[in-house]
Amino acid sequence: MSEVFTVAVLVAVVASAIRLAVPLLLASLGETFGQRSGVLNLGVDGIMLLGAFTGYYAVLKTGNVWVGLLAGLVIGLFLGLASAVIAVTLKAEQGISGIGIYLFGLGMSDLLFQKLVGTPIPIDTFPQVDVPILSSIPYIGEMFFQHSMVIYLAFAAVPLAMFVINRTTFGMNIRAVGEYPEAADTLGVSVAGVRYATQLIGGSLAGGAGAVLAISLGIFQQNLTNGAGFIAIALVYFGAWRPMGVMAGALLFGFINALVLELKTLEIIPRDLSNLAAMAPAIITILVLAFAAGRFKAPAALTKPFTRGK
Amino acid sequence: MSIDLSKRQRRFLAYSIPVLAVFAALVFGALMLILLGADPIEGYSEMFLGAFGSGDALIATILKATPLLFVGIGIVIAFRANVINIGAEGQLVLGGLFATMAALYLPEMPAIVMIPLVLIAGTIGGAIWGWIPGVLKAYYSVNEILSTIMLNIVAVQLMAYLLRGPLIDPAEIERGTRIPQTARLAESADLPLLFGSDRFHIGPLLAVLCAIGAYYLLWRTPLGFRLRAVGLSEHAARYAGIPVRRTITLALTMSGALAGLGGAVLVFGGESHRMVTDGSTLGFTGGAGFNGIVAALLGGLHPLWTIPASFLFGGLIVGGQALQRAVQVPSALIVALNGLVVIFVVAADRYRATLLAEDGRDMVADADDEGGGEASAASSGVEPAPRGTDSFRPTGTYDTGDDR
Amino acid sequence: MKNVTTKMAILFAVVALIAAACSSSDDSGSDDGGFRVAVVAPSASNDLAFTQSIVDALNKLESDGVVSEVAVTDGTFVVDDAAVAIRDYASDGYDLVIAHGSQYGGPLQEIAPDFPETSFAWGTSADTFGLDNVYSYEAASDEGGRVMGIMAAALSQTNTVGIVGPIEVGDAKLYVDGFKAGVLVQNPSADVPVNYIDSFSDVALASEAASSLIGAGADVLSGTAQMVVGAVGVAKTDGVLWFGTQANQTSLAPEIVVASQVYHWEGILEEMVTNVKDGKLGGELYVINFANDGLVIEYNDGFDLPDDVRQLGDDAVARFKSEG
């Protein structure tokens, strides 16, 4: 095959990368809020799975994809609250409690699916929305402007997150609580309150990310996310706790996955080596980090519960 | 609270808290069983019997606990040096792969040579998979949670590649079925069986020896002192002239090595005596890489307490499977229940730490007593952080760049 | 102090509960002459694929009264856990214990000799290890693959038919190879890109693989294993035709599913049960194929399949039937 990098292939890969990136992006953005305030939630994947099931089930029952998305966001909100109780109030070790949340979500979503649905029934998916004018630009339109509404919304959330974190009082409190909780507390900022808020944001975005995944695929299945939540956490580190960086990471991850897939379809990657190719996203993430991460520092209070007077 | 309790009572209560947390999770599970239309009393009695009710059940539980214990000891060592090793899943896989390759490529040798060789190979495999995030963390400031998650992904693909390609059973090629598994590995590498059982091998014994070794290492050797000093305060350790980066790398390497040994035991102590993959890490490890972390926590991050904790957790898993068979609930319930146990144990951990901290002592100081005088230098030199009340991570762990 | 008292009270309550639970257990073996079957399988019993095919078959045997009890342990993707389950079912006195996964062969080989009175079945595989209490069974899934490949080639306008696979092994490989051969029989110049996504579980990747195949020009797709539900969704959105396997996948997308190859294990399982009742515990290989009605092409009545294409499919099936 000689026509490896035809424009059409590139266009298809970019469009596919964007689709693959969106659930990661939403979940990572949510996790960014949490980590900037000093809370690591390793249970993102579990929340995504329950969000995915809830979103799927809501669409199945109502036929309305937006109700499904809302349902995912709401269940995520509740799980975010639970995460906050565990991590903030009970001051549990965050690296481990998250694994519990993950396992709970993994098992519970599958259990609910088997009991309430059983055999997979397809649901409606988000309709494609072509952006007027822009979508008719050759190539560019197909790559960027022929997606479903949630994809545009997800990317619109990036500048919004930047604005909230960098320009609002709430954002300032988040950063303060994540870096110097003692100082923030002295200044009258409720450390627990801010952390509860970021966990609620993070939980609902993770739940929403799961719902987006399920409703985009039009189906639910056991372990639908296949570990996407863990990758989303990795992307927060990758993106150096900044929404733009997180977005770049999600897109890069999506792009490499889409590219490997396309190269397999075109039979450029020999089938015997396809497993080695599938390692690429993980290895590239590590390498990029090894060269870049030293320049950025994690929020100083990350994973540290706060106790007044300590 | 509990001001009028004696130290002994407080300790008893402290150690019973994780157990209470497990019970609390099981009560939650009972509610779920009722919702599923199953009788929780029947379910749990089947679960209990399935885990501890017979000789066979006990053996199954101990064998299930073995990889948890290997992983758990590694977690304890890493935690003491203030490092979270989420990568045990991948390290188990690498250990299994290295051990398998040793058995496939080494010439036929007597068991007395073969068994140590495959176990060492597994240990090396896991050590490499621990060393990489160690170096990345110590020298390149790459967070270990991130790098180990990524390395788990790499490990699973490496396993699939090797078992589908270079290591595959030639008979699978011949038949054309191409199941990604090796041939039956050399019988001389089978772990010796004990007590005339047809399954109970020396793996659990090895794991217990490792736990004792880890205890000795952490509290009786200069290296153990360095590990704990780094864990308590990197800055203080650095000023005291301890090579912080090398110590962090070593902690993760040892943690990985123990998981790798666990992987080798999984291969050569398993019923199939070969390595097989379903294309996921869980298919090989059964989640031991995660559950081992919980066992370590359940054991108060103490190598010796991790032994009964692993046993209890192994029983929970084996019993869960018996419960599924007996009352025919979906296996997903067991996964969810496992998650609840983790959440409850971790969430209750703070209370245990609080109880112990009322003596002005935590598990670190606690073990220092047992460990002898040398360790008290650590507690006076650097302020001990009561576990759970503040953090496992007294200083910014990301901050290793300033002595470059 | 109150806090502590409460905790102690809870501890005692729970201990009492456990003790009560243990004493109330009866565990009466229940060997009342009925025929009890247990199956251990890797994925969920409603996966619309491999595991569901055997569970459905056993449930049918139970409702037909051929067997008296069916016990299922599903989701057992850890081989050593499966080993524990197989051993436990055998020691619980089940008459037939089915290890429904090629990867379970290793442990079964070690367990079966310990229970000479129990009959075991292992699939999909062609090997009984020379043990006389082990049956093996497999599906000639390449037959159905070939039949549907022929129809797919006839339906394709672009001369491109794509296939989504999980990991290139066992039953999946057999099906994919058969399907590809079928397409090429009907149209030697056709392009048949195959995308193995190296996962049995990644639904999102399966769906992107389908997109990628459609991008490469495919207007008919097929795929195997439980993660293809994602690919079917993409096929539905893009109006591309789909051929399913392992279970009837019409319900996933009634508009575009042309036909599915469905596994019917009932026939061979019933034979096995009869044999076991007669005292023959194993040593034989069973294959489901078109000739013994173990494989059936189930057409989607809602899909307007041209008669000539249907004829091609029926002819191919008839050929397999006559060859035996």
Predicted ipTM beyond 0.95: no
B192-206, B245-259, B365-379: range with lowest mean pLDDT: B365-379
Task: Clarify whether residues C76 and C172 are in a common domain.
Answer: no
Inform me whether the pLDDT recorded for A207 exceeds 70.
Answer: yes
* Per-residue confidence (pLDDT) for residue C284, from 0 to 100: 85
Task: Clarify whether residues C236 and C279 are in a common domain.
Answer: no
Select from A217, A259, A267 the residue whose CB has the most chain C CBs within 10 Å, as the one to mutate to test that interface. Answer: A217
**Hey, are the CB atoms on A218 and C211 less than 8 Å from each other?**
no
The highest-confidence range among A49-53, A183-187, B396-400, by mean pLDDT, is: A49-53
Task: Clarify whether residues C196 and C249 are in a common domain.
Answer: yes
Q: How confident is the model at residue C14 (pLDDT cuts 50, 70, 90)?
A: very low
* Per-residue confidence (pLDDT) for residue A309, from 0 to 100: 63
Task: Clarify whether residues C310 and C168 are in a common domain.
Answer: yes
Cβ proximity of C148 and C134 under 8 Å: no
Task: Clarify whether residues C52 and C79 are in a common domain.
Answer: yes
Find the mean pLDDT for residues B143-153: 85
Task: Give domain status of residue C8, yes or no.
Answer: no
- Indicate the average pLDDT of chain A: 85
A206-215, B198-207, C53-62: range with lowest mean pLDDT: B198-207
Inform me whether the pLDDT recorded for C22 exceeds 50.
Answer: no
- Give the nearest chain C residue to A24 (CA atoms): C204
- Indicate the average pLDDT of chain C: 83
Range of C124's domain?
Answer: 36-139+265-288
Contact list in C for residue B283 (CB cut-off 8 A) is 77-79
Q: In which residue are the tokens 């050590």 written?
A: B127
More confident residue, C319 or B238: C319
Inform me whether the pLDDT recorded for B363 exceeds 60.
Answer: no
Task: Clarify whether residues C178 and C48 are in a common domain.
Answer: no
Find the mean pLDDT for residues C93-106: 88
Cβ proximity of A238 and A157 under 8 Å: no
CATH number of the domain within which C69 lies: 3.40.50.2300
**What is the CATH topology of the domain spanning B7-395?**
ABC transporter involved in vitamin B12 uptake, BtuC (1.10.3470)
Q: How confident is the model at residue B173 (pLDDT cuts 50, 70, 90)?
A: confident
| CATH number of A7-295, picked from 1.10.3470, 1.10.10, 2.170.130, 1.20.120 | 1.10.3470
* Per-residue confidence (pLDDT) for residue A296, from 0 to 100: 67
Task: Clarify whether residues C215 and C95 are in a common domain.
Answer: no
* Per-residue confidence (pLDDT) for residue B345, from 0 to 100: 83
Ordered by start, the domain boundaries in chain B are 7-395
Inform me whether the pLDDT recorded for B341 exceeds 90.
Answer: no
Amino acid, res. A174: I
* Per-residue confidence (pLDDT) for residue B70, from 0 to 100: 95
Overall domain count for chain C: 2
**Which residues, including other chains, have CB under 8 Å from residue C214's CB and lie 6 or more apart?**
C162, C221, C234, C235, C238, C240
Find the mean pLDDT for residues C232-253: 87
φ, ψ (nearest 5 deg) of residue A197? -60, -45
Paired tokens of B398: 């990301």
A17-26, B162-171, B214-223: range with lowest mean pLDDT: B162-171
Task: Clarify whether residues C182 and C303 are in a common domain.
Answer: yes
* Per-residue confidence (pLDDT) for residue A274, from 0 to 100: 72
Distances (CA, A) of B153 to A36, A107, A219, B287: 26, 21, 25, 14
Q: How confident is the model at residue B288 (pLDDT cuts 50, 70, 90)?
A: confident
Find the mean pLDDT for residues B335-361: 75
The highest-confidence range among B198-202, B223-227, B308-312, C176-180, by mean pLDDT, is: C176-180
Inform me whether the pLDDT recorded for B383 exceeds 60.
Answer: no
Task: Clarify whether residues C77 and C176 are in a common domain.
Answer: no
* Per-residue confidence (pLDDT) for residue A13, from 0 to 100: 85
**Hey, are the CB atoms on A265 and C253 less than 8 Å from each other?**
no
Distance CA C315, CA C324 (A): 14
* Per-residue confidence (pLDDT) for residue C119, from 0 to 100: 92
Give percent of chain B above pLDDT 90.
18
Find the mean pLDDT for residues A170-195: 88
Select from A81, A103, A283 the residue whose CB has the most chain B CBs within 10 Å, as the one to mutate to test that interface. Answer: A103
Counting one residue from chain A and one from chain B, the pairs whose CB atoms sit within 8 A come to 175
Distance CA B246, CA B145 (A): 18
More confident residue, A42 or B374: A42
| B34: closest CA of chain C, how far (Å) | 15
| Pairing outcome for strands A146-148 and A128-130 | antiparallel
φ, ψ (nearest 5 deg) of residue C277? -60, -35
Inform me whether the pLDDT recorded for C11 exceeds 60.
Answer: no
Ordered by start, the domain boundaries in chain A are 7-295
Find the mean pLDDT for residues B176-189: 75
**Which residues, including other chains, have CB under 8 Å from residue C140's CB and lie 6 or more apart?**
C174, C287, C288, C289, C290, C295
Inform me whether the pLDDT recorded for C220 exceeds 90.
Answer: yes
Contact list in C for residue A148 (CB cut-off 8 A) is none
* Per-residue confidence (pLDDT) for residue B262, from 0 to 100: 94
Q: How confident is the model at residue B7 (pLDDT cuts 50, 70, 90)?
A: confident
Angle B13-B16-B21 from CA coordinates, rounded to 5°: 120
Task: Give domain status of residue C24, yes or no.
Answer: no
* Per-residue confidence (pLDDT) for residue B399, from 0 to 100: 35
Find the mean pLDDT for residues B327-351: 82
B15 touches chain C (CB under 8 A): no
Find the mean pLDDT for residues C107-115: 87
- Give the nearest chain C residue to B9 (CA atoms): C4
Inform me whether the pLDDT recorded for B2 exceeds 50.
Answer: no
Distances (CA, A) of B328 to A81, B223, B322, C38: 32, 50, 9, 11
| A287: closest CA of chain B, how far (Å) | 10
Q: Chain A neighbours among B 290-319 (CB < 8 Å)?
A: 290, 293-294, 297
Residue C185: Cβ within 10 Å count: 14
Find the mean pLDDT for residues A72-92: 91
Q: How confident is the model at residue B358 (pLDDT cuts 50, 70, 90)?
A: low
* Per-residue confidence (pLDDT) for residue C4, from 0 to 100: 43
* Per-residue confidence (pLDDT) for residue C21, from 0 to 100: 43
Task: Clarify whether residues C271 and C299 are in a common domain.
Answer: no
pTM > 0.80 = yes
Task: Clarify whether residues C63 and C173 are in a common domain.
Answer: no
* Per-residue confidence (pLDDT) for residue A160, from 0 to 100: 93
